[in-house]
Amino acid sequence: MSQLRIATFNLLHGQPLAADGSPLDYPSEAGDPLAEAVAALDADVLAIQEVDRHQERSGLVDQAAVAAKAMGAADWRFAAALHGRPAPVAGWLPDPSVTGLQVYGPAEIGTATDLPSYGTALLTRLPVRHWRARRFAPAPFGLPLRVAGRRGLTPVPDEPRAAVAAVLEGEHGPFTVVAAHLSFVPGWNMAQLAGIRRWIADLPQPYLVLGDFNLIGAVPRTVLGGATALERSAPRRRVRELREARRTRAALAEPRRRRVREPRARLQGWHDLAKTPTYPSHRPAVQFDHVLAVGVPRSAVGVSHAPRTGVSDHRPLVVEVGL
């Protein structure tokens, strides 16, 4: 079975960082560090979060288009969680002229330069059968967080989030991939993740959900429906027959009683394809970025890693999967 390289990467709008994690100035060609980081991943499917489109802080580039060109993506979609400009402390100054979810792709390269936006994107080298996107409202309150370039904790309001899903054509049939960026507000992000599970229920399995969930450990897979041991892999009727045969032989006290082996329990449900810290990028201690799957055998999962790049306070998470 051929291996696909699946990756997720919170870009921090392509912000270059020094070795100690402090922010650096953008180079004259603002897209170059981002393009280099994405090209080095050599991903077949890439989810990216905190993506700028025509923002002054990142050189007015279309970062989804830059990333797509760097990896050789045949198709991609960028879902704008919001239109507007970042503002210190206040979070964002939204553009009142734009309402609702806006989705951009290859056909929109070089358009709407007067509408700076920010959101989530999914890029792929594989043929795409179907695209869909959705937007999540922000939590009604924020939290004090550590912000790159600032000392201590900074009060940060929550922001709208976006998710992009695609049904891709794999070597052995279609499968569904979701790119998501969830709220940092506890509980609110769990509700968003559960909403994604319902949102893709009509799309074909296997499912892969990638992104920065702002959740750690077993929480994401538990929310989605973590792997649990089924009682038996054989039908229940067959299990009852085996148990009855065992009891009958015991009652007859056969001298050469053969042991009846019941089918072993097996795991089924959502599981992590990679477990490694991704944040902060200069000294990873926690894993906010995940690749979760259901319908993907564990035997189909290959190596994974979280390489250091020259941009972002997150490391990308890369895993090889046979699909």
> HEC profile for the chain?
CCEEEEEEEECHHHCEECCCCCECCCCCCCCHHHHHHHHHHCCCEEEEEEEEECCHHHCCCEHHHHHHHHHCCCEEEEEEEEEEEEECCCEEEECCCCCCCEEECHHHCCCCCCCCEEEEEEEECCCEEEEEEEEECCCCCCEEEECCCCCCEEEECCCCEEEEEEEEEECCEEEEEEEEECCCCCCHHHHHHHHHHHHCCCCCCCEEEEEECCCCCCHHHHHHCECEECCCCCCHHHHHHHHHHHHHHHHHCCCCCCCCCCCCCCEECEEECCCCCCECCCCCCECCEEEEEECCCHHHEEEEECCCCCECCCCCEEEEEEC
Same domain, 239 and 121: no
Res 246: pLDDT: 67
Q: Which domain holds residue 257?
A: 231-265
Same domain, 19 and 153: yes
Res 148: pLDDT: 62
For the cut 80, the answer to whether the pLDDT of residue 281 exceeds it is yes
CB 46 within 8 A of CB 124: yes
For the cut 80, the answer to whether the pLDDT of residue 177 exceeds it is yes
What are 66-104's pLDDT values in tens digits?
A: 999 999 999 999 999 999 999 876 789 999 988 889 999
Res 251: pLDDT: 61
Residue 286 or 230, more confident: 286
Q: What is the mean pLDDT of residues 169-190?
A: 96
Give the CATH number, domain containing residue 109.
3.60.10.10
Query: Comparing C-alpha atoms, which of 79, 5, 11, 2 is closest to residue 289?
Result: 11
What are 122-160's pLDDT values in tens digits?
A: 999 999 999 999 999 999 988 887 776 677 888 889 999
Res 248: pLDDT: 65
For the cut 80, the answer to whether the pLDDT of residue 170 exceeds it is yes
Same domain, 253 and 193: no
Same domain, 287 and 261: no
For the cut 60, the answer to whether the pLDDT of residue 229 exceeds it is no
Q: What is the mean pLDDT of residues 20-31?
A: 81
The alpha carbon of 226 is separated from its chain's Cα centroid by a whole number of angstroms, namely: 16
Same domain, 102 and 238: no
Same domain, 313 and 244: no
Residue found by looking up tokens 């070597």 in the block: 171
Same domain, 60 and 111: yes
Whole-prediction pTM = 0.86
Same domain, 149 and 207: yes
Q: What is the mean pLDDT of residues 179-196?
A: 97
Res 260: pLDDT: 45
Question: What is the domain count for the chain?
Answer: 2
Query: Comparing C-alpha atoms, which of 120, 103, 123 is closest to residue 6?
Result: 123
Same domain, 308 and 318: yes
Q: Indicate the average pLDDT of the chain.
A: 88
Same domain, 77 and 121: yes
Same domain, 129 and 204: yes
Same domain, 31 and 176: yes
